[in-house]
Amino acid sequence: MQTSDEVKKALEVVFKANADFYKTRGFQRRIGYGKKPALLIIDLANAWTRPGNAFTCDNMDEIIDTNQQLLKAFRRRGLPVVYTTTAYDVTDRNVPGDMGLWHHKIPVEVLSVGSEAAAIDSRIAPQKGEHVIVKKRASAFHGTYLSGMLKTMGVDSVIVTGVTAAACVRNSIEDAIADGFRPIAVKEGIGDRVAGAVEWNLFDIDAKFGDVETLKNVLAYLDSNDINV
């Protein structure tokens, strides 16, 4: 559900008041870019990017285009690219397995390992040497090898895109800063299913957990001399 102009205007009023409040409390500081970023693309697999699925999100054309531009910039600089998808080996709800209890809340049983639904969208397909992490929970870091791999690569910041703003993107950003990485959320590259969810979560992330930056600013950083390749 796209956020209407009316809702966006109402949110702008709320965000302005909240931003002023946060600033008086010392929030909304800037964490800044690091010296070696990785691109972390959260769950841009077919179940989220293609129409007709339970997990389908809005505004996919802009999100895919944004990720294509970022991929081009990262690949040109030889910087790490990591994708995640969410998928399960055991999708029978009557059998204990890797879905845990999540299937009691959302239809994760449709996300089986190796399925077309869980495959990364072909418009942003991984290339040789790029990593696809199959996660079982919302965060890209929870129960995966992501943190250790990034540290081994010398990565100090993650440029984050994907879906959904209210869950997997947000949880991944929270865990990124907890694990010592500088999270940068790309405004045009993040989506959700519910009206207002992207706007609210990016506002709150920017206040507490990472910096929200425009695609233009991120691309300028990737073209700068501030990066150690």
Query: Of the candidates 89, 141, 95, which has an alpha carbon nearest to the alpha carbon of residue 114?
Result: 89
DSSP string, 120-188: BPGGGPPPTT-EEEEESSSSSSTTSSHHHHHHHTT--EEEEEEE-TTTHHHHHHHHHHHTT-EEEEEEE
Domain boundaries, the chain: 5-222
pLDDT on residue 24: 83
**pLDDT values of the chain reduced to their tens digit, one per residue, 229 residues:** 566 677 777 777 777 777 777 888 888 899 999 999 999 999 999 999 999 999 999 999 999 999 999 999 999 999 999 999 999 999 999 999 999 999 999 999 999 999 999 999 999 999 999 999 999 999 999 999 999 999 999 999 999 999 999 999 999 999 999 999 999 999 999 999 988 899 999 999 999 999 999 999 999 999 998 888 7
pLDDT tens readout for residues 201-221: 999 999 999 999 999 999 999
Number of C-alpha atoms within 13 angstroms, CB side, residue 48? 28
pLDDT on residue 18: 75
Check 40, 42, 124, 168 and give the catalytic one: 168
pTM above 0.95, yes or no: no
168 carries an active-site annotation? yes
Q: Which CATH architecture has domain 5-222?
A: 3-Layer(aba) Sandwich (3.40)
